[in-house]
Chains A and B, each alone.
Chain A
Amino acid sequence: MNLAWRDVRHNLLRFVLTCFGLSLLMGVVLSMMGIYNGLVADALTIVRAPAVDLWVVEDGTRGPFAESSRIPGDTRAAVSRLHGVGSAGSVTYQTVEAATGLGKLRLYVVGYELGRPGAPEDLVAGRPIARAHFEMVADVRTGLEPGDRIRLGRDDFTVVGLVANHVNSGGDPAVYITLGDAQTLQFELAPPAMRVQRQRGAAASDTDTINAVVARVKPDIDPSSVAEAVRRWKHFAAMTQIEQETILTRSVVDRARRQIGLFMGILLAVSAVVIALIIYTMTMEKLKQIATLKLIGAPDRTIVGLIVQQALALGGIGWAIGLVLLMAVKDHFPRRVVLEPENALALAGIILVVCLLSSALGVRAALEVDPATALGG
């Protein structure tokens, strides 16, 4: 007969409550893993959205995400003419606050040229931007729906399509508009300010400025060789897609990533201590029964099985309920929680090891107990 199961069944409510408490802890560990992944995934979404091979930015910078980058709008034409470049497009990035019916909304506005690289390619609803002005593709986290109108700067935009999980490294949802609209929004002065500038005799500012040029290289062309050509001949900074992603994960979100990673490690250590204490306490409460088992002739494997099976059940059930809880609530987190199957399996493996190590304390106490303690009061 399985003594571990019988003991659990005898104290079922207590065991379930313990499992539930542990599952909350496991849920927090899993959510930290998910937040960690989400942070990295969010940081990479925008940079992966245009599906390009090459980023050309202002010389001496690592823009447009890690640092500010401003380059002339005609840079795209120069990059397009380079050997090995298949297509190129100009892009701008800026953060704005827009008023909606629900209050202020922080938006990460991406401007791109219609028909060129830079457009989001994974719409989940509606259609891409088709008109040169005042149309918008928005991330679902904005809460906007196709057909909604929202004011950015001095213009009203109509949402025509939706994308999912397009946010910047700060978690602000992205909206895509045409390059012309984005340049107007970013660089053009309001009419009163422009009049003041003219009265001061200042030259009209040039709004044909962009933050970066993104390019796709032709098949069988190494993007790094094109990047090298850009650096050498065009006096711009250039980096491949992989380099851009590395900058984001190693620089832009690195501190936050490490912070969460450290916190996750602390949580795992706390979980290990909690599991160890629970199992040790459960064992200590059973010492007289264990002594009786030894006295009546139960072998060590029966006693070890009693403790280890309960420890594994505790960890396994705690993990499973924690996973279910997190899956149920993860979409309600303010930022994206990305839980990959390998993360859940990794935690299961860690819990397995923790449970075995934790139960070792209890097993040691159980094996040391003198069967003679079963005798007498």
Chain B
Amino acid sequence: MTEHIRDAIVEVERIAKHFGSGETRVDALREVSLKVHAGEVVAMLGPSGSGKTTLLNVVGCIVEPSSGRMRLDGETVYDGRWLRSDLRRLRLDKIGFIFQFHNLLPFLDATDNVALVLELAGVGRTAARRRALELLDYLEVANRRGAMPAKLSGGEAQRVAIARALANSPRIILADEPTAALDSARAAIVMDLLRKLATERDACIVAVTHDEKIFDRFDHLFHLRDGALDPGAPS
């Protein structure tokens, strides 16, 4: 079992999260346990209020759980309390985020949106831009390197956002509705890209989605209902 935990990139054990107390207490997560391994692309599904976004926020170290244990990329980051004081640095080092709407900074061009993450991590300006261009090339949007986000199409902007998520070579990529703003063709391209990333970079992708047309592209589907994993749901 211990060996297995080491192999998993995301290891969530009996994580619970409640908001409020007494009569107003809401149990957003009820002792959820799951593991995601390198190369896997998984999705969290469920109706509104089922706890999938809360779980994504917990894995993204944005929301502190109420109890449980969590390991990310081999490091125990939560065990009844955060074990790291600087969670932003933890996110910068270990996690890449892909948003429903690309969330690129409107005042930076495509290259600088990617390079910013590298510079925040301490990479020099020239090296950061070089690496950003490599990533844009990898995601086949290098021809739009100098374009401002407002000038990019939805698909191009999402690719730049994925490049930004990959900038620090994180092994965990969290995606919040990554295809919701895209048409079927572009959604398929993005899913192919995520699959390619997981395979080539030995990373795992954890996505929250409602997009049924891409369900078959995930390795596992975690169904959440009332804050708990639904054991009866198909995976």
Residues of chain A having any CB pair with chain B under 8 Å: 1, 3, 6-7, 9-11, 288-289, 292-299, 302, 370-372, 374-377
Contacts and interface: CB of A to CB of B under 8 A. Distances in A.
Given A297-B92, A298-B88, A302-B120, A374 B103 contact: yes
Contacts of A377: 100-101
B108 interface: yes
Given A3-B107, A374-B103, 11 more contacts: A1-B112, A1-B115, A7-B107, A293-B105, A295-B97, A298-B88, A370-B62, A374-B99, A375-B62, A375-B97, A375-B176
**Residue picked from B53, B91, B125, most chain A C-beta under 10 Å:** B91
Contacts of B117: 296-297
A375 to B, nearest CB: 5
A110 to B, nearest CB: 63
Main secondary structure of the interface of A (DSSP, over half): helix
A375 B107 contact: no
A159 B97 CA distance: 82
29 contacts: A1-B116, A1-B119, A3-B105, A3-B108, A6-B112, A11-B107, A293-B105, A295-B91, A296-B91, A296-B120, A297-B91, A297-B117, A297-B120, A297-B121, A298-B120, A299-B120, A302-B120, A370-B62, A371-B62, A372-B57, A372-B62, A374-B103, A375-B56, A375-B57, A375-B176, A376-B100, A376-B177, A377-B100, A377-B101
Interface residues of B, number: 32
Nearest to B106: A10
B63 A292 contact: no
Given A10-B148, A375-B57, A294 B125 contact: no
Contacts of B60: 295
A10 B107 contact: yes
A296 B97 contact: yes
A292 B57 CA distance: 13
A289 B106 contact: yes
A372 B62 CA distance: 6
